[in-house]
Copies of this chain bind each other. A is one copy, B any other.
Amino acid sequence: MQKRADPRLLDAERLIQERLGDRRLDFDSMLAVSNIYRAATAVRRRAEKGVLSEFGLSWGGFTTLWVLWVWGEMQTADLADECDLSKGTLTGVVKTLERRGFVERTRVESDRRRVTVSLTEAGLDTIESLFPRFNLYEGEMVGELSTAEKQELAELLRRVIVTADAEGTEGAEGEEEKVERP
């Protein structure tokens, strides 16, 4: 149903094709990928300007709080993993959350290299009153989609995530399990 009906896109497609000369252009893939990125930016921006700003939280800060709420006290490395952040970035995010009084760090006695992060009372109160509102906001963001479409969208994206997260640079079969390459 009227895919590519936007004349702006047709314009762009024609212009790109001109620039490319006779090289092939995979327009469908281009549009899919760029829309993933634009949607993420729009959704994040809207969240940070709306719900999250009232609590002084960024997207990453919220995610971290949420993970701690759902899974409980965690070690830094696991937390970084669960939040999909590098450990260096996580140190910064936790530092900010700590300054705001939402979380606290505890050095592990049995292995003093390790540090665990947990919610403070204030952090718990915050996420408990914030999450329901955040979930409502999520509902608004995909409010134009039916339930089936939401599930379809999530599933299509899941397949993209799996591909993008795969280790290999060109991944022939795509089932290499973290093989080290010299």
A-side residues, CB < 8 A to B, are 3, 12, 15-16, 19-20, 23, 25-26, 28-33, 35-46, 50, 59, 69-71, 84, 128, 131-132, 135-136, 138-145, 147, 149-165, 169-170
Contacts and interface: CB of A to CB of B under 8 A. Distances in A.
Contact of A165 (B42, B44, B135, B155): B42
A interface majority secondary structure: helix
B164 A43 contact: yes
* Total copies of the chain: 2
A50 B37 CA distance: 17
14 contacts: A16-B70, A19-B128, A28-B147, A28-B154, A32-B145, A35-B157, A35-B161, A36-B39, A39-B160, A41-B84, A141-B160, A144-B160, A152-B156, A153-B157
Contacts of A169: 50
A138 B131 CA distance: 34
Given A151-B3, A165-B42, A157 B36 contact: yes
A173 B26 CA distance: 35
Contacts of A15: 70-71
Contacts of A162: 144
